[in-house]
């Protein structure tokens, strides 16, 4: 690679945000980029390019509410980098969606796809709306209109959305239908995470939780910790948390705590995870079924072997990182650890396995779905799960090599793997014109 100088990295911004706990996803994503770049001999011009998204689309999405009034929402699609392939990443419906959040989360998707060696770049989008305040018909109208507003910038070879916070397979089905109707041809490959009956993949919904479980098993093995002697606390019992909990439970681990927004169920003897409905099966059921309820904050500092934050971003902060008693943290959510908390946990030798590896099963099975759509040939669930396992193990091995050779954190090792691959692709392609 050409230059050894990282002189034009904006480290002043890096320091400025270091003291702030209200760091945005974009600030965190940039900081992580500088951190990884500092370990590598990368052309500083490439790092400079990667600080910025390629394009950010902002649209207004008017819908008719059920009472006949018109309301206008703002939607975004941030396309970060596409050097390795089409943009890929979720669409979220959440009141706090902003332009910068989409850019930061889009950057994470670039790293996540590169860590998994998928032929995709990164993107993220969403609408600033509270989906809980929309009826199903309103959500459908919002999705169809949003699809229309984004029609020129998405597509199976260009940018492929998927579910994220507040969106689900049904949302992807509406999006695929709206796009297909306008294009005049059924185009399943325009989105992933669809229901299998219209070209979705078996195993896609379970995949982020499955990859969290696979990585937890691999990291426990690495630290010589048999799963049947391992206790686990999981924040969140949605698709990621519940699937990870049930698989780890099946594989012998003792799940001592799970939670929903109202609090956590705690049983030091182990929870029968199959008997507690996930958020998708019955919203907010965890606390209803619990005999012993503790708070979500207490869950994060339980004396367990493995802590899996699988609900929201920024839950491990400078306020509670000293009190985290787990030896291993496996990030199920995107961005659950603030930068300050990350430094505190690193100083305390708590191993933090980053989101861009741990929950990457979602986008990996999205890739399998896209292949199935393009080839018009569905895979069996067994094949999906086997290939996911193979991909997770390959990514784990690549990261383990960097971790051992460079004596860095697991997060840095994952970023080093991702950034090297992206930088090499940029180097090979060069700058146009
Ligand atoms: N939204 C998911 C993520 O954050 C999946 C993205 C995808 O499948 O494209 O990884």
Residue at 42 is within a domain: no
Looking at the fold, whether 132 and 72 belong to one and the same domain comes out as yes
Please report the pLDDT score of residue 103 as a whole number.
Answer: 97
Are 1 and 86 members of one domain? no
Interior angle at CA 260, CA 116 and CA 294, nearest 5: 120
Run means of pLDDT, 10 residues per run, the chain, 433 residues: 31 34 82 90 92 97 98 98 98 97 96 98 98 97 98 98 96 98 97 98 98 98 97 96 98 98 97 96 94 96 98 94 98 94 97 98 98 97 98 98 96 96 94 82
Decide: 355 in ligand 1 pocket, CB within 6 A: no
Q: Which atom of ligand 1 is nearest to the CA of 360?
A: 10
Structure tokens at 262: 């109202």
Which CATH number characterizes residue 8's domain? 3.40.50.720
**273 shares its domain with 297:** yes
d(CA 359, CA 355): 5
State residue 156's pLDDT score. Answer: 98
Atom number of ligand 1 nearest to Cα 367: 8
Omega of the bond prior to 144 within 30 degrees of 0, cis?
no
Measured CA to CA in angstroms, residue 58 lies from 126, 127, 175 at distances of 10, 10, 17
* pLDDT given at position 22: 67
Pair 185, 219 in one domain: no
Residue 197 located in a structural domain: no
Give the predicted TM-score (pTM) of the model: 0.93
Domain that holds residue 336: 1-23+204-360+381-424
Of 128, 159, 189, the position where a domain reaches its end is: 189
| Cα within 13 Å of Cα(422), Cβ side | 34
Task: Considering the candidates 51, 88, 112, 124, report the single residue annotated as catalytic.
Answer: 124
Q: Could you tell me the CATH number of the domain that includes residue 118? A: 3.40.50.10860
Q: 192 CB less than 6 Å from ligand 1?
A: yes
**Do 184 and 328 lie in a common domain?**
no
Q: Both 185 and 272 in a single domain? A: no
174 alpha-carbon distance from chain centroid: 22
CA distance 38 to 17: 17
| Dihedral sign computed on CA atoms, order 237, 240, 243, 248 | negative
Indicate whether 325 and 209 sit together in one domain: yes
Among the candidates 158, 189, 220, a domain finishes at 189
272 with 393, same domain: the answer is: yes
Q: Which pLDDT score is estimated for 432?
A: 82
DSSP 189: G
Residue 201, burial from CB neighbour count under 10 angstroms (0-12, 13-18, 19+): buried
User: How far, in Å, is the centroid of ligand 1 from the Cα of 363?
Assistant: 5
Output the CA torsion sign for 381, 382, 385, 388.
negative
Whether residues 7 and 76 share a domain: the answer is no
**Cα–Cα dist 337/343, whole Å:** 10
Q: Do 264 and 221 have their domain in common?
A: yes
Specify whether 248 is located in the same domain as 169.
no
Tokens of 343: 């430094």
H or E element that contains 390: helix 381-406
DSSP letter at 133?
A: G
Residues in the chain, how many? 433
| Tokens coding 308 | 């899996």
User: Is there a domain that residue 110 lies in?
Assistant: yes
Ligand 1 pocket, 337 CB below 6 A? no
Ligand 1 pocket, mutate which of 159, 162, 414 (most atoms under 8 A from CB): 162
Domain annotation covers residue 401: yes
Q: Does a structural domain hold residue 371? A: no
* The predicted structure's pLDDT at residue 186: 97
For 385-417, how does the pLDDT look when each residue is reduced to its tens digit (9 = 90+)?
Answer: 999 999 999 999 999 999 999 999 999 999 999
Q: How many Cα atoms are found within 13 Å in the side-chain-facing hemisphere of 418?
A: 34
Residues 72 and 98 in one domain: yes
DSSP β-ladder status, 293-294 and 263-266:
antiparallel
State yes or no: is 132 an active-site residue: no
Looking at residue 403, its pLDDT comes to 97
Residue 433 domain flag = no
Domain boundary among 137, 166, 189: 189
Q: In angstroms, rounded to a whole number, what is the distance separating the alpha carbons of residues 329 and 326?
A: 7
Is residue 180 in some structural domain? yes
Three-state DSSP at 16 gives helix
Measured from the Cα of 92, ligand 1's closest atom is 1
pLDDT at 21 (0 to 100): 62
Residue 33 within any structural domain of the chain: no
Q: Based on the structure, what is the number of domains in the chain?
A: 2
- Give the pLDDT of residue 1: 32
The whole-number pLDDT of residue 15 equals 31
> From the CB of 164, is ligand 1 less than 6 Å away?
yes
Gap between the Cα atoms of 394 and 357, Å rounded: 11
Q: What is the DSSP letter of 321?
A: G
């Amino acid at each position: 690679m050409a230059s050894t100088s990282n002189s034009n990295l904006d480290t002043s911004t890096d320091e400025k945000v270091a003291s702030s706990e209200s760091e945005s996803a974009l600030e965190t994503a940039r900081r992580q980029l500088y951190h990884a770049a500092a370990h590598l001999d990368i052309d500083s011009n490439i790092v400079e390019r990667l600080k910025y998204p390629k394009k950010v689309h902002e649209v207004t999405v008017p819908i008719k509410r059920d009472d006949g009034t018109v309301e206008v929402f703002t939607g975004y699609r941030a396309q970060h980098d596409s050097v390795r392939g089409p943009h890929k990443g979720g669409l979220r419906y959440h009141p706090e969606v902003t332009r910068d959040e989409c850019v930061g989360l889009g950057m994470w998707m670039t790293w996540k796809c590169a860590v998994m060696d998928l032929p995709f770049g990164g993107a993220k989008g969403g609408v600033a709306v509270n989906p809980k305040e929309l009826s199903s018909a309103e959500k459908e109208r919002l999705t169809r209109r949003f699809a229309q507003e984004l029609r020129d910038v998405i597509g199976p070879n260009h940018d492929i959305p998927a579910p994220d916070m507040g969106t689900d397979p049904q949302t992807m089905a509406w999006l695929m239908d709206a796009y297909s109707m306008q294009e005049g041809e059924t185009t399943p490959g325009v989105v992933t995470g669809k229901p299998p009956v219209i070209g979705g993949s078996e195993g896609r919904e379970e995949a982020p939780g499955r990859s969290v479980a696979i990585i937890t098993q691999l990291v426990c093995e690495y630290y010589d910790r048999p799963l049947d002697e391992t206790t686990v606390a999981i924040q969140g019992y949605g698709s990621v948390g519940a699937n990870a909990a049930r698989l780890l439970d099946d594989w012998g681990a003792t799940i001592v705590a799970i939670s929903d927004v109202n609090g956590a169920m705690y049983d030091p003897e182990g929870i029968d995870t199959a008997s507690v409905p996930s958020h998708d099966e019955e919203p907010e059921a965890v606390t209803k079924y619990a005999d012993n309820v503790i708070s979500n904050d207490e869950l994060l500092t339980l004396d367990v072997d493995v802590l899996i934050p699988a609900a929201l971003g920024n839950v491990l902060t400078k306020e509670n990182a000293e009190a985290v008693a787990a030896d291993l943290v496996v990030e199920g959510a995107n961005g659950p650890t603030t930068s300050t908390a990350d430094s505190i946990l690193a100083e305390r030798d708590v191993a933090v396995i980053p989101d861009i590896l741990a929950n990457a099963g979602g986008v990996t099975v999205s890739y399998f779905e896209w292949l199935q759509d393009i080839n018009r040939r569905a895979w069996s669930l067994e094949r999906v799960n086997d290939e996911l396992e193979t991909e997770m193990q390959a990514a784990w091995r690549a990261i383990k090599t960097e971790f051992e050779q460079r004596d860095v954190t697991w997060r840095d090792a994952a970023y080093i793997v991702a950034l090297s691959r992206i930088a090499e692709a940029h180097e090979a392609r060069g700058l146009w014109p």
